[in-house]
Amino acid sequence: MASEEDSNEIRCEVFWKNLAVRYWYFVVIFGVIIIGAIIGFILTLDWYVDTSAIGGNGSWTFDQFSMGTAVLWVIFLFLWIVLRVVLPTLAVAGIIIAIIWFAVLPPELKEEIKLRFKEERHHGKKSGGGGACGFLIFIGICIYIYIDGNWLTEFGSLSIRYFIDAWITVVIWGLIIFGIPAVIVGIIWFVRKCGISD
């Protein structure tokens, strides 16, 4: 039973990989959309910290926030991110998915995709890694603060702008350190796979 599920999972992974190779240009487009969303998120966060009156344009320290102002700060940040990043990203991705589904994919492939989605939903595929990513960012921020000489500085002496800058710096360095090699490996994999399939 377990070996049958494993073989089904392997077949499913091979199907998605072959589909990605066959329509590689759409994979590149979605990659660009994801990169654009990440850049948009960072720029929106940076803009919000500088312009939000609830936080003194980034000058407030943690001890100046109350529960009310902290909740309002987070709610308005969430709303701006939804408005400036999430909705435009979903709109563009939705248009591209509609074009792929209605104009590009042949009917038999659509049926196969529907079948694969049903199988994955039935087997309940789990996705993890979000917690590990958050933990790595936290470690990165700790390293940043230590190198910056503020390891023993009280939170009340450091502004919210300082912590946001630390977070942005760590995320950008993480994207450079891990993202560039991942892109290179992905390109090499695509080139080899396309070469083999041709």
The answer to whether the beta carbons of residues 81 and 37 sit under 8 Å apart is no
Sign of the CA dihedral with 173 first, then 38, 165, and 78 last? negative
Per-residue model confidence as pLDDT tens digits over 46-88: 999 999 988 888 899 888 989 999 999 999 999 999 999 999 9
What is the C-alpha to C-alpha distance for residues 37 and 170, in angstroms, rounded to an integer?
Answer: 17
pLDDT of residue 19: 80
**Mean predicted confidence (pLDDT) in 138-144:** 94
**What residues are paired with 61 via a beta bridge?**
159
Q: Per-residue pLDDT for 178 more than 90?
A: no
Of residues 181 and 7, which shows the higher confidence score? 181
Helix or strand or coil: residue 183? helix
pLDDT of residue 1: 47
The residue written with tokens 């958050």 in the block is: 134
